[in-house]
A and B are shown apart, each in its own frame.
Chain A
Amino acid sequence: MVSLLDRLDIFKSLVDYQHKFGNPLGLSPKELTSWSKGLHFDGGNGTFIFTGSLYQMAPWMSAYSSQIARLESGPLPSGALLKAARRMGSVGAGMISTIAGVDRQFSSRCSSIIKRASELLIQASIPHGYMGEAEPYSGVIFMELGMEEMFSSVANNAYSVFRDRGVKRLITLDPHSTVALREWYPEFVPGFDIQVDHYLEVVKPGRPDSSGTIKGATTERSYAIHDPCLLSRRLGLDEKLREGLQRAGIEYREPVRCRRGTFCCGGPIESVAPRVAGAIAEKRKKQLHDVGDRALVACPVCLANLGRDSVGEDLPVSDVLEVL
């Protein structure tokens, strides 16, 4: 007898934690903002970097999904494990960290990833501010799970914060938040008028040498490139991703399904059906491993789901912001 989590078990914790902590996994303000420690932001005249909290949440989501997948694999001798799963689902980040064991090294990598994005913006002469503890969560997971009313509420609250802060332009780091802000906010937030750019659209990675030529470090490793679904198909940034890698001198190889034909990492359903998400990730990792000994992604959801050690082949996965 295998016990499985219901929709309500999953949704309730996300909603509760959004209400209590302002993000659906219940991360503390310190955990959300630690990446910015020691950095100074000049305000950027209305331009702000927008983390959307997704990179910060990736290690927690990964730990949560892995643990639920293990519990749902059963067989369970009693309802005890299901109760543990429900408890973990309903108490948020603190308990996830205790029960599932969040990978602190992964968390530290995610902080570096966000920091690198900020550095690349400066390098591209784009001064920007950061809202710090006031930065709102976009609400994207609620929309993706069909909780439109909740999404609308979160999005409208976020817009109030943006207006209070004088935000005119947001530079996003992940495709999910970008799609939410560009496509769904205008639909759900009356008067939404903020320019939204993904960092790949504006940064210029690589460093000019004395002759002014942009040159990055050529890597010896062969990276298999994994196009995140929304980045390539919805935002059309598959070419920008490659341009960035070429400018930075990063060698990459194309797997069997790439660019607009890419194969999802499975991550978007990791909270609802982590074992299905894991099976999809395993399949994708095999496709990537066929062409490279490491994989490159450009999305925290892909980074978490393909990076789960418990899933599939031994394939180190890096975010593009770790190599640019």
Chain B
Amino acid sequence: MTLESSFKKVKERVYGALENTEMQTGINRGMDSFQSKIPRIRSKNDVQQLRSRVREIKSYSSRNLNELLNQVREAFQNNGVAVYLEKTKSDALSRFEKLTEGDRLIVKSKSLVSEEIGLRGFLTSKGKEVWETDLGEFIIQLRGERPSQMVAPSLHVPREAVARLFERKFGRRFQSDDLQSMVNAAREFLREKLERADVGITGANAISANEGTVVTVENEGNVRLTMTLPKKHIVCTSVEKVVPTTIDAVSVALTQSYFAGYDKPTYISLTSTPSGTGDIEKVIVRPAQGSKEMSVVLVDNGRLEASGGELSDALRCIKCGACQMVCPTYSVAGPAWGGPTYTSAIGLVWTAITGEPEESEYLSYFCLGCDACNEICPVEIDISRLISRLRAKGTGNIVSDLK
């Protein structure tokens, strides 16, 4: 009976979302905007070639994950970067507690893995002041919510709601059509935090195993500031982000950006070592202008166990979120159709892999099996089939009650 109650809880949540017009306004504006960009993504030959190459890179990487992890750890150590492979959420959180010991102010850029392990809440509970520097993450931090989409975590929050939120936060009025004023307010507030922060935590779009280079792609400029202004830079990412070479890693990041709907990325950063200079007598001095220390926390949280299993194809996902942006169920249910971190489409599979298998099974019944996700996926993951495996497992659990 417990299982059935949980299925009904998911259904109740999804039904409740059908009445949430504010959420639907945000999601639909975002989806319409994305839809207008699809023809451009499809018509560019170089993007299609890149997508094809990334498909091969990610296929190889997911098949050779353990070998690449050994390689990347060695590469990081050679670069003077501390690297930690953490099996569980609590292992990862303990690591962050140690790495930030004595630090007071922490700034973060967007990292789904950090959401997955509940990093911000954990660090806050340890008495630290933590601020999200990505605008979307900042918005959901202020609202006390979880991300609604992989690339645009506050997709469900329309401009009118952001104006009201910022009015409460900053104590002055914002016109909902004046987006620049809202962005300026966040910039002013966060810049002060960035300048004073002891630690900057970033994610990674991809990491090269051969050189231990972390590749990030962004448009706001906050990732670069987060990794360079504080003295301590910690990368919070997951094991499946490792690919063989730096060129491969850049290819993944570029593809992720294109399929997230951006014409071209504003910034791509490659970070291999803490900052330093050898300009005076060729003696390396750290830090120079950027961080003094760099650490990388590679979170497993179910991925290595999933590798080789029936959901392993999901490990090829580059988290561009395109599958979510074309999903009909997501268009009406929004983040209610999702787990604690990952929503809709491939997000259901990530929910299963990262520790919420039962929740993902309940969620799977709301998938239409329409293949819209498969059609857009740059690395051609058969997402519908993976979700059908979750559904089969869910039904398998109650099949004895059907006889």
Contacts and interface: CB of A to CB of B under 8 A. Distances in A.
A276 interface: yes
Contacts of A276: 14-15, 18, 329, 332-333, 366
A146 B391 CA distance: 5
Interface stretch (B64-72, B273-281, B393-401): B393-401
B372 A229 contact: yes
B331 A280 contact: yes
Interface in A125-182: 144-150
Contact of B8 (A4, A11, A283): A4
A268 interface: yes
B65 to A, nearest CB: 28
A11 B326 contact: no
Nearest to B371: A233
What does DSSP make chain B's interface, helix, strand, loop or mixed?
helix
B328 interface: yes
B78 interface: no
Interface string A1-24: 010101110011001000000000
B38 A261 contact: yes
A234 B384 CA distance: 11
Chain B interface size band reads 35 or more
B15 A275 contact: yes
Contacts of A256: 35
A83 B371 CA distance: 35
B388 interface: yes
A323 interface: no
B372 A280 contact: no
Nearest to A148: B392
A263 interface: yes
B335 to A, nearest CB: 14
Interface in A61-97: 72
B11 A273 contact: yes
Nearest to B337: A276
B283 interface: no
B396 to A, nearest CB: 7
A150 B391 CA distance: 14
Contact of A229 (B18, B331, B370, B395): B370
Interface string B1-26: 00010011001101100100000000
B262 interface: no
Interface string A215-245: 0000000000000011001100000000000
A194 interface: no
A229 B371 CA distance: 7
B396 A146 contact: yes
A145 B391 contact: yes
A272 interface: yes
Interface residues of A, number: 39
B370 A273 contact: no
A257 B35 CA distance: 8
Contacts of A261: 38, 326, 372, 375
Given A8-B4, A148-B392, A233 B18 contact: no
Interface in B357-403: 364-372, 374-375, 388, 391-396, 398-399, 401-402
A280 B332 contact: yes
Nearest to A7: B7
B212 to A, nearest CB: 40
A103 to B, nearest CB: 24
B15 A4 contact: yes
A266 interface: yes
Contact of A149 (B38, B328, B369, B399): B399
Nearest to A277: B368
A264 interface: yes
A2 B15 contact: yes
A260 B370 contact: no
A264 B14 contact: no
A51 to B, nearest CB: 21
Contacts of B366: 269, 272-273, 276
A279 interface: yes
Contact of A266 (B4, B15, B328, B395): B328
Nearest to B393: A146
B374 A147 contact: no
Contacts of A283: 328, 331-332
B11 A146 contact: no
Interface in B301-352: 326, 328-329, 331-333
A148 B394 CA distance: 11
A221 B332 CA distance: 30
A264 B4 contact: no
Contacts of B35: 256-257
Contacts of A72: 15
Contacts of B396: 146, 148
A275 B392 contact: no
Interface string A279-290: 110011000000
Contacts of B15: 2, 4, 72, 273, 275-276
Nearest to A264: B370
A233 B377 CA distance: 13
Given A146-B395, A262-B372, A283-B331, 12 more contacts: A6-B7, A8-B401, A146-B396, A229-B369, A229-B370, A230-B370, A261-B375, A264-B370, A267-B368, A273-B11, A276-B15, A276-B18
6 contacts: A7-B398, A8-B398, A144-B369, A256-B35, A264-B328, A276-B366
Interface of B: 4, 7-8, 11-12, 14-15, 18, 35, 38, 326, 328-329, 331-333, 364-372, 374-375, 388, 391-396, 398-399, 401-402
8 nearest A-B pairs in the assembled complex, by CB-CB distance = A146-B395, A146-B391, A264-B370, A229-B370, A279-B332, A146-B392, A233-B371, A6-B4
